[in-house]
Structure 1
Amino acid sequence: MDFDVIIVGGSFAGLSAAMQLARARKDVLVLDTGQPRNRFAATSHGFPGQDGQTPAEIKEQLQAELCAYPTVSVRQAGARRAERTGAGFALALDDGNRVTGRRLVLAYGMRDSLPDLPGLRDRWGATVLHCPYCHGYELGQQPVGVLALSELAVHQAMLLPDWGPTTLFTQDTLALTPEQRSALQARGVSIEDTPVTELLGDAPALSGVRLADGCEVPLAGLFLAPRTSPACDLADQLGCAFEDGPTGPYIAVDAMKVTSVPGVFAAGDLASPVPNATLAAAAGVLTGGSAHRSLIFDHDLSSQS
């Protein structure tokens, strides 16, 4: 085997897993495509010790710390194919190479599917957002909106008045119950049933939205919960089980981040219904330790189905 552990994904979860394994002096390869899910965000907030840094700066610092360990390699490449090889795993990379490892950590994250609405994609991660805890404070208590794509919009709209006057746009998608309307109104949420047709302002800034009837609603930020899917299909290739999350499927793992496939671990947004940088890093720490223990206590993968 070329490596003790191959980690597919070089963002917060993958690098945190690699750090634990590096400190155990294991030979580790981190594969990084350079396309993290958070690349659209100007700054990261709520990450202890890193509040206000850009995601790229945090990643660069983590990678620099990791590369000080001599048993770690970081390669700018993705994996096209993954297969079990008896004693471990073999990966075909998109740069034409093939690598093998005794254990495999999947941390390649998720992909967001955004609605096709004029002006929305140009603002994603700046003023069109998914997490008020990550980005709500910076909007300065100005008016905000929630674009309904599913029932999750009700949850977002109930939270957001703590960050600014809130309007819920039901978009002909959300049929509110009387109880939901009452709860939203008790929180001061305005409910707009006329669909949003366009986002306004000099992107990536947002000044408001235009409705189907021509009316405009001033907004500084628009929140939504997009559908999500794994950023690649390696888990499917390996036969990993999935769970149904609130926005899409994610890899099923146990408390130690072990998937349904022996020798395969998963961490970060890919293996959680809750996307969050701090949680991803913490999951990576746990995953790295779990993979290390597997090398010691479950060393013979060939005997496991």
Structure 2
Amino acid sequence: MTDKKDFDVIIVGGSYAGLSAAMALGRALRNVLIIDSGLPCNRQTPHSHNFLTQDGKTPGEISVLAKEQVLKYNTVHFRQDVATAGKKVGNGFEITTQSSRIFTAQKLLFATGIKDVMPDIKGFTACWGISVIHCPYCHGYEVRNEKTGILGNGDHAFEYAKLISNWTKDLTLFTNGKSALTGEQTKKLQVHNIPVIETGIDRFEHKNGYIEQIIFRDGTASSIKAVYSKVPFIQHCDIPEKLGCELTEQGYIKTGDFQKTTVDGVYACGDNISPMRSVSTAIATGTFAGAAINKELIEEQF
């Protein structure tokens, strides 16, 4: 917490990407404010993987240690709050929070991630990140060779099935309604012994987020260990768009060289800019953004 109101940089979002950027900026002697809601999107995920030195740690363990290390730099400040509005003021920006505090900075960095939009299937949300997963590189090893499902349809489901077949041969595609696969795609799946189930899904039965079976609307069931699913998303924070930052066709914040958005002085990093949702990628983009922001401040001040 801090009573200071004016900063070199405000970072909205204090998970891996935001903390990484804050460390780079703190080491560059910049006065930084991190504003974070305390509700990261991976809070249900039991373990984090594919991050050297931290493989198998819980997301919370990594975050606690990261925050502890970042806040050792006395020019970095942390506030648990929610940024609710932002605007351009003079040569910088103003951020208003849910607690009605107003802070200003020369530069803004959004490390706010994305918000997954869950399907209307009972039990899905409770299993998300635990046994209903999106990334085989993050979680596939833990459910390798297990009875696995894919919830999806059409071209993306076909490509997903090809990918996941690397981790298990006991694979079923659940389209949750009439299949949109082409005849050629269906035949290809048959060759690889991947059945396609079109029956509508009623619910996922689970224990503490670990799925046990899929219950269909016709009363039948399918025992399953894990389900892969790619759900739609929206930006977790709408301030960048309200400031004029452009989004890509996929809905990510558009960034060019050096993590810069289409609005001068506004940067973005982490899951809100890329489908590569991993701790290591978020940290890498955060570090790069911090260095880029510091370089721009130097160029303006020298």
Decide which of 145, 155, 158 is 1:154's aligned counterpart: 158
Query: Does the alignment pair 1:191 with 2:196?
Result: yes
CA distance in structure 1 between the aligned counterparts of 2:64 and 2:155, rounded to whole angstroms = 37
On the 8 A contact 2:88/2:94 being kept in 1, the answer is yes
2:144 touches 2:167 (CA, 8 Å); kept in 1? Answer: yes
The 5-angstrom pairing of residues 145-294 of structure 1 reads 145-148=149-152, 151-164=155-168, 165-172=170-177, 174-245=179-250, 249-294=251-296
8 Å CA contact retained: 1:81, 1:93:
yes
**How far apart are residue 292 of structure 1 and its match?**
0.7
Match of 2:116 in 1: 112
| Most deviating of 228-237 and 257-266 | 228-237
Task: Tell me if the contact between 1:149 and 1:226 (Cα under 8 Å) persists in the aligned partners.
Answer: no
For 2:240, the aligned partner's letter is A
The 2-side partners of 1:150 and 1:10 are apart by 36
Structure 2: gaps spanning 5 or more residues: none
Q: Does the 8 Å CA contact 2:153/2:181 hold for their aligned counterparts?
A: no
Q: TM-score, normalised by structure 2?
A: 0.94
Q: Does 1:55 align with 2:51?
A: no
- For 1:176 and 1:24, the matched residues in 2 are separated by 53
1:158, distance to aligned residue in structure 2 (A): 1.3
Cα deviation, 1:1-43, whole Å, max 9, x if unaligned, reads 7111110000011011111111111111111110111111011
| CA shift for structure 1 position 120 | 1.3
Once the two structures are superposed, the pairs formed by residues 7-18 of structure 1 within 5 Å of their partners are: 7-18=11-22
| 1:102 alignment partner in structure 2 | 106
Q: Using the TM superposition, give the Cα deviation of residue 149 of structure 1 relative to its aligned residue in structure 2, in angstroms.
A: 5.8
Asked if structure 2 preserves the Cα contact closer than 8 Å seen for 1:148 and 1:173, the reply is no
Matched, 1:139 2:143: yes
Deviations 1:140-182 (A, max 9, x none): 4210101116643222211112222110011226410122223
Q: How much has 1:219 moved relative to structure 2? A: 0.5
1:62-82, Cα deviation, whole Å (9 max, x unpaired): 111101111100111111110
CA contact (8 A) 1:148 1:168 kept: yes
Q: CA RMSD in A?
A: 1.7
Cα distance, 1:227 vs structure 2: 0.6
Q: Which consecutive unaligned segments of at least 5 residues does structure 1 have?
A: 301-305
Maintained 8 Å contact 2:111/2:270: yes
Measured in 1, the distance between the counterparts of 2:269 and 2:192 equals 35
1:149–1:225 contact (8 Å) kept in structure 2: no
- Mapped to 2, the partners of 1:41 and 1:11 lie a distance apart of 14
1:197 CA drift (Å): 1.8
Q: Percent identity?
A: 36
| TM-score, length basis structure 1 | 0.93
Give per-residue Cα distances to partners, 1:74-106, cap 9 Å, x unaligned.
Answer: 111111110111211011111111100010000
The range that moved more, 156-165 or 7-16, is 156-165
Contact 2:154-2:181 within 8 A present in 1 as well? no
1:303 alignment counterpart: none
Of residues 145-154 and 61-70 in structure 1, the stretch that sits farther from structure 2 once superposed is: 145-154
1:161·1:188 contact (CA, 8 Å) conserved in 2? no
**The residue matched to 2:145 in structure 1 has which SS?**
coil
The letter for the 1-side match of 2:299 is: F
CA contact (8 A) 2:149 2:226 kept: yes
Whether contact under 8 Å (1:145, 1:168) holds in the other structure is: yes
| Cα distance in 1 for residues equivalent to 2:185 and 2:261 | 37
Distance 1:285 1:186 in 2: 45
